Amino acid sequence: MEQFFNDNMYVIDLGEINSAPEIIFELSAVLDKEEARNKRICLKLGDVSLNQAQLLSIKSLINGIDSTLSSMETKSFDTEKVALSLGLIVSNVSNENTTEAQPAMPYKLAEEIKEEIKEETKEEEVIVEEEPIENSVESVIKDKEEQEIKEEIEPNKEESNGEIKSEPETTVQDELDVIFNSSYAQNTFLEIESTQREAEQKEELTDIIVPESEYTKEDIELEGFPTKYIKQTIRSGQVINYEGNVVIIGDCHPGCEITAFGDITVWGVLSGIAHAGAGGNQKARVRALKMNAIQLRIANCYSRRPDSLNSVYAEKTNSFTPEEARIINGEIVVFKIND
């Protein structure tokens, strides 16, 4: 892993890492450094193929430190496609220009890939007619991508100066909002009412993300679970074990353990161990106003807090960025839900 500086560019080379969790881990270690802040970041990846959710979480990681992901290099065709669909500037590493960030990709390639994606989406449109919501997400992304490619064509002169135009403000937020139906953003976070609302939203969310055809027995079970409300600070050594959903109004200190068959929602800082879906439910989620958990377990997946974060005790702040963890492709992914 190497980093290069180039004025306001910050190049992160992760070309030798071959798995998505490791990439996210290494990246978060690099992004902890002060010099990565307020930069336009050029990410170099190797053969690893990332899916849309993984790329989105990488992007939100970068946005979290006030930087923007301005361009990417990858050897994997899949990653390239996904990145293009998210409106990122991608260049293929095959032309071996590794030390200099390549701001714009060859124009033809973009056109080709665009056409390919178009074809694919057409095919999907034919097949997946029962998934109207998924489709709308795709079409939104497609529209954006078309816009951006147009924009790429026009400012060709500027690019010839060697300067890289920072990408337009179609950030992760928009995309996340599309995914989460933006209802989280409108949430006023007020008193106990909001928890009820949250429960409603949860239903909405599952509706949106899981198409009805994929609505399994597990989901129905999850909604049928009883929910336990706990209004206290959970301290070290305390255990909460419940065969249902758990909602905690208060902080969960390091050293505590929360195990639930359904979802775990913490209205405060989550710093202990949280195990959602302990009965094996892969759709269970963990969400908290501040996610600082030492370990997250969902069903039979396990992830731990990066070592690069020094203190297990979260800084007391008045502003929170709620986060949610769920399983995507057998790995636990934490999403930021920005307001």
- Which of these ranges, 6-14, 140-148, 195-203, 235-243, lies near another protein under the rule CB under 8 A? 235-243
Least distance in Å: CB of 11 to another protein?
A: 28
Exactly one of 47, 214, 302, 308 binds another protein (CB under 8 A); that residue is 302
Q: Residues 303, 309, 310, 314: is their CA dihedral positive or negative?
A: negative
Q: Give the number of residues in contact with another protein, rule: CB under 8 A.
A: 17
- Which of these ranges, 22-30, 211-219, 236-244, 323-331, lies near another protein under the rule CB under 8 A? 236-244
Environment class of 128 (CB within 10 Å of its CB; exposed 0-12, middle 13-18, buried 19+): middle
CA distance to 32, 95, 129, 219, 336, per residue, from 290 (Å): 17, 43, 38, 26, 10
Q: Report whether 281 contacts 300 (CB < 8 A).
A: no
**Measured between alpha carbons, how far is 197 from 39 in angstroms, rounded to an integer?**
38
Please report whether residue 103 would count as binding another protein according to CB under 8 A: no
Environment class of 46 (CB within 10 Å of its CB; exposed 0-12, middle 13-18, buried 19+): middle
**Residue in 306, 307, 237 with CA at minimum distance from that of residue 273:** 237
Please report whether residue 263 would count as binding another protein according to CB under 8 A: no
CA distance to 31, 70, 72, 254, per residue, from 63 (Å): 10, 11, 15, 27
- Which of these ranges, 116-124, 175-183, 237-245, 260-268, lies near another protein under the rule CB under 8 A? 237-245
- Which of these ranges, 95-103, 106-114, 178-186, 251-259, lies near another protein under the rule CB under 8 A? 251-259
Least distance in Å: CB of 272 to another protein?
A: 9
Structural element, H or E, at residue 336: strand 331-336
DSSP, res 93: G
In this complex, which beta carbon is closest to another protein, that of residue 254 or of residue 268? 254
Exactly one of 73, 80, 257, 263 binds another protein (CB under 8 A); that residue is 257
Q: Report whether 59 contacts 89 (CB < 8 A).
A: no
**Cα 135 to the chain's mean position, in Å?**
20
Exactly one of 26, 312, 331, 338 binds another protein (CB under 8 A); that residue is 312
Exactly one of 25, 255, 279, 328 binds another protein (CB under 8 A); that residue is 255
Token pair in block for residue 91? 């260049």
Least distance in Å: CB of 243 to another protein?
A: 18
Least distance in Å: CB of 131 to another protein?
A: 37
- Which of these ranges, 183-191, 221-229, 231-239, 329-337, lies near another protein under the rule CB under 8 A? 231-239
- Which of these ranges, 64-72, 160-168, 207-215, 299-307, lies near another protein under the rule CB under 8 A? 299-307
DSSP string, 227-286: EEEE-SPBPTT-EEEESSEEEEES-B-TT-EEEESS-EEEEEEE-SEEEE-TTS-TT--E
Exactly one of 305, 320, 328, 338 binds another protein (CB under 8 A); that residue is 305
In this complex, which beta carbon is closest to another protein, that of residue 101 or of residue 276? 276
Residues binding another protein (CB under 8 A): 236-239, 254-257, 294-295, 302, 304-305, 307, 310-312
